[in-house]
Structure 1
Amino acid sequence: MAPAKRKATTTVDAARKESRRSTSVASERIPHRNVLPANIRPDPEAQHKQTIMWNCDNVSTIDDNGRNSPTYTIRGMKWYIRVRTETSERTQNEQQFSVYIYCLEKNNLDTWYADVLSNVTLINRRDTTKNKKERFSYRFSHGLSNSGYASFVKMSELLAPEQARTIIIIGYILNNTIKIEVVISVVKIHGLTPPATVYDFTQPIEHLTDGILIVGGKPVHISKQILATNSPVFEALFFRGFREAKQEEIELEEVDYDEFVELLQTLYVPDKEINPTNCGYLLKMADRFQMKHSILLKLQKPSDVVSLKNQRDYVPISDTMKLIVTEHQLKLMNKKP
């Protein structure tokens, strides 16, 4: 039986006291690194990689007009798979089963491009060790929207009666359906603005989840190490002998779910911006969890701090926090351009 959840309002207060006992005023003002710890930093390529598993039916009716898979979004760009038959000089005038990857980017600028690594696999339903695999890299750009294989496999072999098929082809078609796996990795984009990284904390994130907090009655999947790196309060809660450290779930009371998720996005994404909409409540939570420097480092201009001070949520934060904000503002004002 899983351990019971434990409410953590008083526990967070105790963790705050514990962190203060073990942290001097001078060391508390040393900025915590607002980066993912190196040992759990996700693979940049993996963040923009997607596996498309497509069951293409009615294989026997595929012709030169082709058939398209559903559309998938990878790194803010639309992609789909197209299969067709082709009989041409490049297929040595034999009818071939062809597989292509298409990019649906509609930007008319001729300077953009996207570098892609792709793995295409034709799944053998009987023996996966006989899967047919191809790998290629390609630079998609304006006017060059597709790439793939004109001669993936001969249609005569693919559709022949089973007894006439070669050992390589047997097992690829089941009930007139073929299964294709395509892994697309968008490793570089030039000339386009990629969408901001947004993490989904409603479910575990690979390599970035080792705990669950209950906030506003909802589970939030978190990395204890990331929170502890940025907050001595969470460091004390998770790693200094509190009973909650052994609980499967810890409930945080008096914390707004959406605001806490925004705080996590700020900690997880290095280029996440602090703006007039979120800076007030982010600073309030930063005050509570003693992660003020992780937030202040996002404010790069004196005007950013002025905007923050004008927010309604700035009023109830502690005098100590207000002093630190003012010190940060003075540092920015005295900073040489």
Structure 2
Amino acid sequence: PPKKIRKIDEGGVKRAPDGIIRFEIDKISTLYEHRKRAPNIEVRGLEWKALVDLDDEVEVMIHCTNEQTTPFSISMNTEFILVHPDNNNNNIIVEDSHIITDFDNGNSGWKLVDWKDLVDCKKGFIKNDTITIEIRFRIFEMRGIKFLPRFNFTDADDPLHDITFIIEGEKVYANKAILAAHSPYFKAMFYRNFAEKNKD
């Protein structure tokens, strides 16, 4: 039967995962690099990374990339899954409710299986010298994270745009106030009077 640890509440990941990271690790029989990184994904405006340690046991870690220096916390439910290639009923699933913080952002790992069990032919987790790991997570609460608004600089119809630049033949639409807030150069260009401003 599938292995389950720390059963989470019924409204957990299964209801609607916010993010799914699924990746394959190949050449298991000749593996010399014991840490593998999954492709990054973006969820709720943050970039999420997953690492797998392959040593005496298979351990999975997940963390988010938050460049802000202020304290933050993310409450989430997560399923770490070692996918059985032939029968999903034999998947190994570790479920957990946990909090990621600025102090401990992905430094903790969740054990999926011992290495000896992973490479056991009778268990059948390795197919074509490859294993598949999937991470499903659902975010319940985010604190201390500020998101800057995102703008589509190619959309001429966005009501926020009030100026157009032509850069290498391409039109780029922007907002004067936002540019001025981030650049003294644009602030001077748009809001100060100087002799060159009105020259053709």
TM-score between both structures, scaled by the size of structure 2:
0.61
Aligned twin of 2:19: 50
Is residue 2:79 matched to residue 1:122? no
Cα drift, residue 141 of structure 1: 1.3
1:173 aligned partner? 126
Per-residue Cα deviation, 1:220-275 (whole angstroms, up to 9, x for no partner): xxxxxxxxxxxxxxxxxxxxxxxxxxxxxxxxxxxxx975xx6xxxxxxxxxxxx6
Q: What are structure 2's unaligned runs of at least 5 residues?
A: 1-14, 163-200
1:28-58 CA-partner distances (Å, limit 9, x unpaired) = xxxxxxxxxxxxxxxxx84x70222211222
TM-fit CA distance, 1:195? 6.1
**C-alpha distance 258-134 of structure 1, shift in aligned 2 (>3 A):** farther
Does residue 68 (structure 1) correspond to residue 21 (structure 2)? The answer is no
Q: 2:116 aligns with which of 142, 148, 156?
A: 156
| Unpaired segments ≥5 residues, structure 1 | 1-44, 87-94, 199-256, 263-274, 279-337
- Aligned letter for 1:127? N
Partners of 2:74 and 2:143 within 8 A in 1: yes
Residues 71-80 or 53-62, more deviating: 53-62
State the shift of 1:62 in Å.
Answer: 5.6
1:104 to 2:57 alignment: no
Distance in 2 of aligned mates of 1:49 and 1:197: 20
Q: CA deviation at 1:186?
A: 2.2
1:78 to 47, 60, 63: 47
Identify which of structures 1 and 2 has the higher relative contact order when contacts are C-alpha pairs closer than 8 Å and 6+ apart. 2
Residue 145 of structure 1 corresponds to 105
Give the superposition deviation at 1:145: 0.8
Structure with max Cα Rg: 1
Q: Are residues 258 and 132 of structure 1, via their aligned partners in 2, closer, same or farther at CA, if it must alter by over 3 Å?
A: farther
Q: Alignment length, in residue pairs?
A: 143
CA RMSD, Structure 1 to Structure 2 (Å): 2.7
Give the Cα–Cα distance (whole angstroms) in 2 for the partners of residues 122 and 76 of structure 1.
Answer: 27
Q: 1:75 to 1:276 in 2, by over 3 A?
A: closer
Q: 2:92 aligns with which of 132, 147, 152?
A: 132
- Conservation of the 8 A alpha-carbon contact between 2:27 and 2:129: yes
Q: Partner of 2:109: helix, strand, or coil?
A: strand
Offset of residue 155 of structure 1: 0.4
Question: Do the aligned partners of residues 82 and 276 (structure 1) sit closer, same or farther apart at CA in structure 2, a change above 3 Å counting?
Answer: closer
**Structure 1 residue 106: deviation in Å?**
2.5
Return the alpha-carbon distance in structure 1 between the equivalents of residues 58 and 161 of structure 2. 53
* Equivalent position amino acid for 1:112 in 2: F
Shift of 1:173: 0.8
The code of the aligned residue for 2:61 comes to Y
Query: CA–CA distance in 1 between the matches of 2:79 and 2:150?
Result: 24
The 8 Å contact of residues 80 and 112 in structure 2, kept in 1 or not, is answered as no
2:126 maps to a residue whose letter is I
Q: What's 2:197 paired with? A: none
- Paired residue type of 1:191: G
- d(CA) in 2 for partners of 1:62, 1:120: 23
Partner Cα distance (1:154, 1:119) in 2: 18
How far, CA to CA, are the matches of 1:70 and 1:159 in structure 2? 24
Counterpart CA distance in 2 for 1:153 and 1:121 is: 10
